[in-house]
Amino acid sequence: MKLSLGPVQYYWSREDLMDFYDQVAEMPVDLVYLGETVCAKRRLFRFDDWMNTARKLAEAGKEVVLSTMALLEAESELKSLRRICSNGEFLVEANDMAAVQLLSAAGLPFVAGPTVNIYNAATLRVLADAGLQRWVPAVELGKDTLAAIQQEAADTVEMELFSWGRMPLAMSARCYTARAYDLPKDDCQYRCLDHADGLTLRTREGEPFLAINGIQTQSALTCNLLSELSEVKTLGVDVLRISPQSHHTGRIAQVFAEALQGRGIDKLPDMERLMPVGGCDGYWREQAGMRYSQK
């Protein structure tokens, strides 16, 4: 299996992004996804910046994929989408059906991100005919469901499994971060910059429940499938995806790389220390997503 680094889901400063991807060049990951997937107002890094970063990472030996937005709301966003899809250099991860349509019409291969709704083998085959090369299953699909899909369509396309990170659950036209600060969406004052890993929401009992990241809702808990690698391998998964976080991403990538090389799970570090508020693996086990077998 290969190891990938998904797109940064949060709003980081230009300097932080540049520093981060300088570090990524040295991380033990095979694939790197680049681009804004959440909010079009996040413009500190523009198309040319993403392309320059992509070329530098390609020179460092990484396979680079450009990621698209998951929710498009304006013509200006469609214009940006068209530019990404026609970049002429790098494979594109489609995160909505508009991107799928543009890439398919152009005869270009593509990756389907976790926000493209693929829940059965029939859909997978339809998209494969349209140019799908690799898919990232929706985070709520568990091992039994994925096994059933793989049994029908294992030779159709590659599978990339979301294996670490706060899970993307939903998108909305409303900005929850702006709402939390009693600000209108059009005058959000870019408050997402203050929350490098999203804003954690807790229940009245104080338990972490969700994370808000602008117009995106995430799990508060970090999906961690490190201890499940033996089962993951039986599914024929081709790539494991790590979703970046503001701290420890390099260490997390190193631990996964060592595990893929055969280092015993019992010798790996306590991954709880590397999470914002705690872990989960319930979806993988076909249970409530917040459950964690390692507690």
Q: Is 202 part of any domain?
A: no
Measured at the CA of 200, the angle between CA 280 and CA 143, to 5 degrees, comes to: 20
How many Å apart are CA 136 and CA 239, to the nearest integer?
A: 9
Q: Is the pLDDT of residue 158 over 90?
A: yes
In a domain, 97, yes or no: yes
Partner residues linked to 279 by β-bridges: 222
Whether 112 contacts 132, CB under 8 Å: yes
Query: Residue 60 is part of which domain span?
Result: 2-165+223-271
Averaged pLDDT, 20-30: 98
Q: What is the pLDDT of residues 264-274, one digit of tens each?
A: 665 566 788 99
Query: What does the buried/exposed string (b/e) look like for 242-276 if buried means 16 or more CB atoms within 10 Å of the residue's CB?
Result: bbbbeebbbebbebbbebeeeeeeeeeeebeebbb
Does residue 204 belong to any structural domain of this protein? no
At 112, which helix (H) or strand (E)? strand 110-112
In a domain, 102, yes or no: yes
- 225-282 pLDDT, tens digit per residue, is 998 999 999 999 999 999 999 999 999 999 999 999 887 665 566 788 999 999 999 9
Please report whether residue 243 resides in a domain: yes
Span 91-106, average pLDDT:
97
pTM equals 0.96
Decide if 76 is inside a domain.
yes
Q: What is the pLDDT of residue 125?
A: 94
Give percent of the chain with pLDDT exceeding 70. 97
Q: Over 70: is that where the pLDDT of 16 sits?
A: yes
The answer to whether residue 294 sits within a structural domain is no
Alpha-helical segments (H) within 108-248: 121-130, 143-153, 176-180, 229-234
Considering the domain boundaries, does residue 179 fall inside one?
no
Q: What is the pLDDT of residues 105-125, one digit of tens each?
A: 999 999 999 999 999 999 999
Burial (CB count within 10 angstroms: exposed 0-12, middle 13-18, buried 19+), residue 24: buried
d(CA 91, CA 64): 7
Number of domains present in the structure of the chain: 1
pLDDT at 8 over 70: yes
pLDDT value of residue 189 = 96
The CATH number that applies at residue 146 is 3.20.20.70
Contact criterion met (CB below 8 Å) for 105 and 130: no
For the chain, helix, strand, coil in percent to 5 are: 35, 20, 45
Q: What is the pLDDT of residue 265?
A: 60
Q: Which residue in the block uniquely carries the two structure tokens 């893929």?
A: 260
Q: Which run of H or E residues covers position 194?
A: none
